[in-house]
Amino acid sequence: MVPLALLQLSCFFLLASSSAGGSAPDNDQHNRLMLDRFHRWMAFHGRSYPNDDEKLRRFEVYRHNVEYIERTNRDGGLGYQLGENDFTDLTSEEFAARYIGGLIANNDSKVISEGYVADVGKNDPSKLKIPPPPKKVDWRKEHAVTPAKDQGKCGSCWAFAAVATVESAHYIANGKLLNLSEQEILDCDRNDQYGCEGGFPDRALQWIWDYDGIMTEDSYGPYVGEQQACDLSRRAYNYLVTIESVWSIPASEEALKLAVSRQPVAVTIEANVNMQFYNNTSGIYTGPCATLVNHAVVVVGYGRDAVSGVDYWIVKNSWGSKWGHNGFFLMRRGADGPRGLCGIVSTQGVYPLVSVIL
């Protein structure tokens, strides 16, 4: 059971039912056009249903969501566009059930041991004699980021965020991009972690350090979206990626930018109501959102839009490749005060250092 003293937060907040409200025009022509559109959507996303009743129910959900998307875009209040994606036939409750329950807020710095964590906060980057970070960075273009993965119906965003930083750190140190095992972390890291009910990205990195590494997915076994019995017996004859230290950074966008210029960083955000319908045409996500973080993601770059001049973060999510821009999204940078948009710097970001293999 999660202690009451800890703040249990979700890997995704539900889309409020009222947000997709509005009744469809009651005429045959509209229904025929919408049904044709639904069939095209089904074909594009490879969707099928077990019977006609379920298909009809999904059609009504789809129509409800499409009308919300179009109404929101027509009102123009967001500054970016919503669109259809792989989740357009899901109700808000179903979407919440799939992605809820994965981040526990960790405001106790004592859980990070001085023995293996070097705190960048003790050395203000603005006071160090180091070159300024480049104007733009995209670790995807350096082939240092694995494709976006899908946490499924499990609140394991904390494990996905931690593992993604290790994958990238290993590539940067050794030039080899490996697909590491979130399932091993989910099964075996039980030090104040709660499996599909939530966890801490920094404690996941601590587990990897404490247990001398993490296995690849091929070695440990595929991700199944639920916590199973931990099996470390395979470590005896499989390669492990080890980390030599874990770093936290000050809760500021300048510090995050400096850190991301060196490697991807795990952060926390508040996932909000419009993220269900963010897709590859949506542009830069600008909110609205608060700073009550409920979801762990990884910042893999930053830049500035050449047309609008808006600064942004490049963020890797864990909702699969059919969401956003192949599983990634752009998020406004330098907005909403010292905590950043959606609280992206309301807590300290973390990343590991990986040893160079000689």
Among the listed residues 64, 170, 295, 325, the single catalytic one is: 295
Q: What is the CA radius of gyration of the chain?
A: 21
Among the listed residues 154, 274, 317, 342, the single catalytic one is: 317
Q: What token pair was written down for 291?
A: 């700073």
Reply yes or no on whether 157 is catalytic. Answer: yes
* β-sheet bridge partners, residue 295: 269
The tokens 């025929």 sit on which residue?
32
The tokens 């179009």 sit on which residue?
70
Determine what percent of the chain falls in helix, strand and coil, rounding each to the nearest 5: 35, 15, 50
Alpha helices (runs of H) in the chain, residue ranges in sequence order? 28-45, 52-75, 92-99, 157-174, 182-188, 201-210, 217-220, 253-260
Among the listed residues 154, 157, 188, 196, the single catalytic one is: 157
8 Å CB contact between 259 and 249: yes
* Alpha-carbon gap, residue 25 to 264, rounded angstroms: 47
Three-class secondary structure of residue 267 per DSSP: strand
Q: What token pair was written down for 235?
A: 């470590």
* Alpha-carbon gap, residue 252 to 297, rounded angstroms: 16
The most distant pair of C-alpha atoms in the chain lies apart, rounded to whole Å, by: 70
DSSP, residue by residue, 84-114: --TTTTS-HHHHHHHH-S-EE----GGGS-T
Report angle CA 103, 265, 118 to the nearest 5 degrees: 100
First to last CA, the chain: 44
Catalytic residues: 157, 295, 317
